Structure 1
Amino acid sequence: MVLAYGIMSVANWARHRKYEILETMQSIESSTHRRGLRLSNVVLLVVVIAFIVAVIFAANQNDIIGWMVVAVAGGWLILSLVSLMMVSRGARAVHKTARDFNSNIAAATAGGTVVDATDPMRDTKVDHSLKIVEVQKRVITEELARGIDQADFEMIDRALDTIEMTAHNARDMINPNRHNTSKPDADNGSNTITGDVIN
């Protein structure tokens, strides 16, 4: 009779286990999580004791029903072990996902922009922009080499405009959200740039 009551309590535990799992998943960082794991360990201990008692009663009475009770108790033991392992693994996965999500949110709000280093299309576009800047620099150098009297200042102005537009587009490719930041690029390069020179 005690064994049947133990098996019934394990069945009730299994029905209510899904609510404990949800509660455990929602409170991974809190003390409820630790309490849930302790409760799982206690319930697992009860199932192991019920299995041992069932084996002892079945061995003492040596009848078919006793061994059937042992099989049922063993099944519950295996089920509880598997569910405990799955819940623990799931809780660890949720914890890792939450930690990764929090670190991604922190990185996104830190003001920096994460640029994927393996974007071949963007790399090709930036490379093309730099080639345009090199060509326009060569145009300016050639015009200035002619001297002040023969230099085509309209061509120099067009080259400088092209360099400015190309630099603007390249910066947009590298940091597409730079216009949406709280500190906009208001001066568009008209003020003096300050900082350390990196060789």
Structure 2
Amino acid sequence: MQSIESSSHRRGLRLTNVVLLVVIIAFIVAVIFAANQNDIIGWMVVVIAGGWLILSTISLIMVSRGARAVHKTAQDFRSNLAASSASGTVVDATDPMRDTKVDHSLKIVEVQKRVITEELAKGVDQADFEMIDRALDTIEMTAHNARDMINPDRHKKKAKPDTDNGNNTITGDIIN
């Protein structure tokens, strides 16, 4: 892959140099004719050829800089990709869908906290402890899921004691 990139790069550079050389030759020829003829039209051709020479030189410089920047970005991307594939899954920190899901999870936790607070405010005699237990289970499941969204490989990184036969899921009732 490297030889293909360098081969096409060399061909493009050769073609660019040839075009620039043609513009320089046209400029020199225009200057010689204008000096020999010493007329207005000859000098106008010199100015036009000079303008094209300046434009092509500026274009060559800008395209070269852009190509170098793209090449550097591609190399950085490849090295980051190689490093991330060696270390595991990469979670994009700018994923708007993941951010929305985590935000929704935090809203669920807030609602369940409010349910617990309202039930406890009723007093020990009138509080619905089953509702409080369901709210706590919901908070636990939501926190577990949100942490999995942020770090999908968190269970793979460190070994946990095999208390649930290798199954790292949380069970519970879903409350609508």
1:176 is matched with: 151
Contact 1:28 1:95 in 2 (8 A): no
Unmatched 5+ residue regions in structure 1?
Answer: 1-26, 115-168, 192-199
Unmatched 5+ residue regions in structure 2?
Answer: 91-143, 164-176
1:31 is matched with: 7
Q: How far is 1:177 from its partner?
A: 3.1
Deviation per residue, 1:101-142 (Å, 9 max, x gap): 10111111012578xxxxxxxxxxxxxxxxxxxxxxxxxxxx
Q: What is the aligned counterpart of 1:67 among 43, 67, 76?
A: 43
Q: What is the aligned counterpart of 1:48 among 16, 24, 35?
A: 24
Contact 1:179 1:185 in 2 (8 A): yes
Q: How far is 1:33 from its partner?
A: 1.3
Pair 1:58-2:13 in alignment: no
Query: Structure 2: how far apart are the matches of 1:48 and 1:29?
Result: 28
Give the root-mean-square deviation of aligned CA atoms.
3.1
Query: Structure 1: how far apart are the matches of 2:157 and 2:13?
Result: 52
Equivalent residues in 2 for 1:56-135, closer than 5 Å: 56-111=32-87
1:188 is matched with: 160
Contact 1:47 1:73 in 2 (8 A): yes
1:38 is paired with a residue whose SS is helix
Deviation per residue, 1:74-111 (Å, 9 max, x gap): 00000100010011000000000000110111111012
Query: Structure 1: how far apart are the matches of 2:157 and 2:72?
Result: 37
Q: Which amino acid aligns with 1:57?
A: F
Equivalent residues in 2 for 1:146-157, closer than 5 Å: none
Q: How far is 1:41 from its partner?
A: 0.6
TM-score, with structure 2 as normaliser: 0.52
